């Protein structure tokens, strides 16, 4: 898929929009296109613009051979356009795969928001924290020394997506170990390419973590930095963890969160920081529904309203 802006790109797009909102008729569009493309860049036999051919031109694709649909009504345009976009993996008027980066501190709600947005757009989702949690888990199980950065880097090379299903990775200790191994450059280097490839698959993707918008996908279409004050985050995390560990106190969790914030923000390798072009979403005073709506609006606004 190419990110081309062929001659007439904006005009074609504005005629498509006008067709959809009903302010132009198929005849208006055909008359305009015939005059605009006198050299037959877009074939307009019998005064009927062939929709797929026009969309191919607009999006720099080559799909029209198998199916072409003459434009004869607003409804048939909408149906043909939807089918074209599905086939070409484009969404609405975007010419690039949709890549969304969620970053933020522990228990800010970024994982929940990222998975909802991924489902909204039908995109694959990667919780990158699980990769670091998996490395921490392996390190703990094998008794690896946290000073032995080479052994930890090697262990990270063998992390496989199937290992991420393990429930043990979601616990408190796994989070603590994850943040320790995540500060090690050899570990980050070993996990980097997998994340870059996941982010840049042709379908588009949603990732959440600490360095998605800054290191893994600086080219992301939309970047959100999700945060909340430490007490609010600790309260949310406490309610999650207490189910598995009734001896846990709120103070334990708050202290974990403060230590993790400090470690994640102060490490030299890919520290937690907001990308310059990220949108800040503070969820301190938002319940989950309100936070989801806020995230949806940010994504929509960044995509030009679609």
Q: Which are the contacts of 54, defined by CB distance < 8 A and separation ≥ 6?
A: 12, 33, 42, 71
* By CB under 6 A, residue 129 contacts ligand CDP: yes
161 vs 272: CA distance, rounded Å: 23
* By CB under 6 A, residue 134 contacts ligand CDP: no
Nearer of residues 9 and 172 to ligand CDP, judged by Cβ:
172
Near ligand CDP by CB under 6 A: residue from 50, 137, 210, 223: 210
Near ligand CDP by CB under 6 A: residue from 26, 97, 175, 230: 175
With CB under 6 A as the contact rule, which of the stretches 1-9, 178-186, 244-252, 288-296 interacts with ligand CDP?
178-186
With CB under 6 A as the contact rule, which of the stretches 27-35, 78-86, 209-217, 277-285 interacts with ligand CDP?
209-217
Measured in whole angstroms, how far is the alpha carbon of residue 1 from the centre of its chain? Answer: 18
Please identify the residue of the shown chain whose CB is closest to the bound ligand CDP: 129
Residue 229: Cβ within 10 Å count: 13
Near ligand CDP by CB under 6 A: residue from 53, 56, 186, 264: 264
* By CB under 6 A, residue 213 contacts ligand CDP: no
Nearer of residues 53 and 264 to ligand CDP, judged by Cβ:
264
DSSP-derived secondary structure for 144-172: --TT-HHHHHHHHHT--GGGGG-GGGGSH
Nearer of residues 54 and 178 to ligand CDP, judged by Cβ:
178
Measured in whole angstroms, how far is the alpha carbon of residue 146 from the centre of its chain? Answer: 32
Q: Which are the contacts of 202, defined by CB distance < 8 A and separation ≥ 6?
A: 1, 89, 97
89 vs 124: CA distance, rounded Å: 13
* By CB under 6 A, residue 53 contacts ligand CDP: no
* By CB under 6 A, residue 227 contacts ligand CDP: no
* By CB under 6 A, residue 24 contacts ligand CDP: no
* By CB under 6 A, residue 204 contacts ligand CDP: no
* By CB under 6 A, residue 209 contacts ligand CDP: yes
What is the smallest separation between the CB atom of 285 and ligand CDP, expressed in angstroms?
19
What is the smallest separation between the CB atom of 179 and ligand CDP, expressed in angstroms?
3
* By CB under 6 A, residue 133 contacts ligand CDP: yes
Outline where DSSP puts E strands in the chain: 99-103, 125-127, 205-209, 222-227, 279-282
**Count of residues near ligand CDP by CB under 6 A:** 16
DSSP-derived secondary structure for 273-305: ---TTPEEEE-TT--HHHHHHHHHHHHHHHTT-
**Residue among 78, 129, 60, 124 at smallest CA distance from 98:** 124
What is the smallest separation between the CB atom of 5 and ligand CDP, expressed in angstroms?
33
**Strand 205-209 relative to strand 99-103, pairing:** parallel
**Residue among 110, 99, 104, 105 at smallest CA distance from 288:** 110
* By CB under 6 A, residue 260 contacts ligand CDP: yes
Nearer of residues 69 and 270 to ligand CDP, judged by Cβ:
270
255 vs 237: CA distance, rounded Å: 12
CB 59 within 8 A of CB 51: no
What is the smallest separation between the CB atom of 300 and ligand CDP, expressed in angstroms?
25
Residue 226, beta-bridge partner list? 281
* By CB under 6 A, residue 225 contacts ligand CDP: no
Contact set with ligand CDP (CB under 6 A) = 106-107, 111, 128-129, 132-133, 175, 178-179, 182, 209-211, 260, 264
């Amino acid at each position: 898929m190419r990110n081309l802006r062929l001659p007439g790109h904006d005009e074609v797009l504005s005629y498509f929009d006008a067709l959809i909102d009903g302010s132009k008729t198929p005849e208006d569009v055909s008359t305009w296109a015939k005059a605009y493309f006198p050299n037959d860049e877009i074939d307009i036999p019998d005064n009927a613009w062939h929709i797929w051919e026009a969309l191919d031109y607009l999006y720099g694709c080559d799909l029209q051979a198998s199916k072409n649909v003459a434009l004869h009504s607003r409804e048939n345009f909408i149906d043909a356009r939807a089918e074209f976009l599905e086939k070409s993996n484009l969404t609405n008027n975007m010419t690039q795969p949709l890549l969304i980066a969620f970053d933020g501190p522990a228990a800010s709600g970024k994982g929940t928001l990222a998975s909802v947005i991924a489902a909204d757009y039908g995109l694959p989702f990667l919780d990158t924290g699980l990769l670091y949690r998996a490395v921490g888990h392996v390190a703990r199980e094998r008794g690896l020394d946290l000073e032995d950065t080479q052994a930890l880097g090697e262990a990270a090379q063998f992390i496989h997506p199937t290992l991420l299903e393990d429930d043990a990775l979601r616990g408190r200790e796994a989070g603590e170990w994850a943040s320790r191994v995540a500060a090690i450059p050899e570990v980050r280097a070993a996990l980097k390419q997998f994340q870059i490839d996941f982010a840049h698959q042709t379908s588009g993707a949603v990732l959440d973590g600490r360095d998605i918008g800054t290191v893994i996908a600086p080219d992301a279409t939309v970047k959100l930095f999700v945060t909340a004050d430490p007490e609010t985050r600790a309260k949310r995390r406490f309610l999650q963890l207490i189910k598995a560990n009734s001896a846990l106190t709120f103070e334990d969790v708050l202290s974990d969160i403060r230590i993790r914030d400090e470690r994640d923000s102060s490490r030299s390798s890919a520290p937690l920081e907001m990308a310059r072009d990220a949108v800040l979403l503070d969820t301190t005073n938002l319940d989950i529904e309100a936070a989801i709506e806020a995230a949806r609006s940010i994504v929509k606004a960044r995509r030009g309203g679609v």
